[in-house]
Structure 1
Amino acid sequence: MDRALQTGGLFERLLDNLVRTDQSPVWFRDWLVFEREATLIRWFDPSIVPGLLQTEDYARAIFAGSRLIDDEEIERRVGARLERQEVLNASCPPDLLTIIDEGALRRPIGSPEVMAAQCERLLQCAERSTVRIHVVPTTAGAYAGLAGPFVITKGDEFEVAMVDTPWPVQVLHRRDAVDSLIRRWEAIRGEALPRTQSIDLIKEVREQWQT
């Protein structure tokens, strides 16, 4: 099919993605395909560090902290999250633009050592040319991001969004819904610190966790 339609290997990649996501919940598999095929990912979270940038210990503390799943399920979810992060190590990784609320950096998840390591991971990721991290300072007060986390992925032939909730995530395909989240993204970005100041703030928080 790829040869006949000259898709550049799209169907082969989709098949590979479907095989790799077979252990994921049915409602999440479509999103994982979009994530792996994306050329641009815009990710905002007011509560925690975005999943693609989490350390293993931070991710484990997040899942364990819910007290809703057993140890086996925790480890399965941690493994799945680490596997998703491999998209950033692809030969042609997507551009990842993330905006994090300062409160997420200061919220104690796990231990001070876990938080210090997580801040260090953010600083390391920010050195990549394909990753940009911005922080909304607490001084911003009320802003558009308080409504909750969301992700927007864009590929050569699609632009879809995901709204994260305690229930199965909502994957939005409608153009008006995606455009609405893009406007929200721009409003949040307007409240975020520039890249250099965001990095300085992450360093400051890292040092506080280390003391």
Structure 2
Amino acid sequence: MAGGHSPGVRRRRLSAALKKLREDRGMSAAAVAGKLKWSTGKLTRSERNEWKFPKRADVEALLDLYEVEGDDRAHLLSLTEEARGRSDWHKYADLFPGSLPDLEAEAVRIRSYEALLIPGLLQTPSYAAAIFEASQIVPPEDTQRKVESRMARRGVLDAPSGPQLVCVIDEAALRRVVGSAKVMAEQLRFLVGMAAHYKVTLLVVPFEVGGHTAMDGAFSLLEFPSPEPGIVSISTGVESLYVEDEAYVDRHRLIFDGVHNLALGPKKSLDLIESIAAEHDKRA
């Protein structure tokens, strides 16, 4: 499911490119709308990625106005066609408050800090089910579909163009018993196995480091091919926030670098995970 392009992310790229073209030419949204006899709202919706299926004629009109020709024009029109498709994830659309699977599929690197949970891309089915059941937010009849969708997301790591994944996990997430001690032991041993994946780097922040830069909570940094802006993803039980503001993203890069520098190295991290798994085994 991770193969191919994501129409949702293509729409995001197209919106960002059209906005940049207008700004580079020093034109206001009202001026562009006036020349094309559009409402200003129509233009701003296209630049905010608030459209479902971009119309080729509309994009061509903008490119004509901005005098975009040659390879740049061909690229943006190709992007327009790709943006009109439907995501491979459409059957799970009601389960995702945002476009996380599409963003993961298009990212070149994902850096994630988790304080209390195992990262979603590295969860076992039993652990994921226990998380959804404990939340009491996901209706019981949706739990299995939620688990299926989370397991399917992992396929992004095996896609040739899939992202590198760097996960920094607080020791608390390893010790908190979710589901049962048996579920936790299985989950931690799966983590050890996933750490051998060529696209996965797994680091643990031990209790002994005390306070650190990421104490305020979990987040992910998604990075895309240049010049695409990065995104900070912050999820709660009821919503996911995706923030592209450059200063906000840069701040989270600093936060991640800080906690990353305090984490154990890969070998010591795996040793700690295995030792905690053994402790869960004794309780199972």
**TM-score, length basis structure 2:** 0.67
> Offset of 1:11 from its aligned partner?
6.4
Describe the SS at the equivalent of 1:58.
helix
Report how many residues are paired: 210
Aligned to 2:59: none
Aligned to 1:57: 126
Alignment of 1:81 onto 2:150: yes
Q: Distance in 1 between matches of 2:273 and 2:151?
A: 22
Alignment of 1:195 onto 2:263: no
Q: Distance in 2 between matches of 1:132 and 1:119?
A: 15
Alignment of 1:93 onto 2:155: no
Alignment of 1:177 onto 2:248: yes
Amino acid paired to 2:130: A
Aligned to 1:164: 235
> Offset of 1:13 from its aligned partner?
6.6
Larger relative contact order (Cα-Cα within 8 Å, sequence gap ≥ 6): 1
Q: Distance in 1 between matches of 2:128 and 2:95?
A: 21
Q: Distance in 2 between matches of 1:92 and 1:138?
A: 35
Maintained 8 Å contact 1:162/1:171: yes
- Note closer, same or farther for the CA distance 1:83–1:13 as it changes in structure 2 (3 Å cut): farther
Maintained 8 Å contact 2:231/2:243: yes
- Note closer, same or farther for the CA distance 1:56–1:210 as it changes in structure 2 (3 Å cut): same
Amino acid paired to 2:248: A
- Note closer, same or farther for the CA distance 1:114–1:14 as it changes in structure 2 (3 Å cut): farther
Aligned to 2:137: 68
- Note closer, same or farther for the CA distance 1:135–1:119 as it changes in structure 2 (3 Å cut): same
Q: Which runs of 5+ in 2 are unaligned?
A: 1-55, 57-70
Alignment of 1:205 onto 2:253: no
Amino acid paired to 2:127: Y
Describe the SS at the equivalent of 1:75.
helix
Describe the SS at the equivalent of 1:135.
strand
> Offset of 1:16 from its aligned partner?
5.9
> Could you tell me which of 69, 85, 89 is aligned with 1:20?
89
> Offset of 1:92 from its aligned partner?
3.0
Q: Distance in 1 between matches of 2:278 and 2:81?
A: 46
User: 1:117-132 counterparts in 2 under 5 A?
Assistant: 117-132=186-201
Q: Distance in 2 between matches of 1:204 and 1:129?
A: 23
Which of these two proteins has the greater Rg computed from alpha carbons?
Answer: 2
Percent identity of paired positions between Structure 1 and Structure 2: 30
Please report the RMSD computed on the Cα atoms of aligned residues, expressed in angstroms: 2.5
Q: Which runs of 5+ in 1 are unaligned?
A: none
Deviation per residue, 1:59-79 (Å, 9 max, x gap)? 000000122333112122111
Aligned to 2:104: 35
- 86-95 or 105-114, which moves further after superposition? 86-95
Alignment of 1:154 onto 2:223: yes
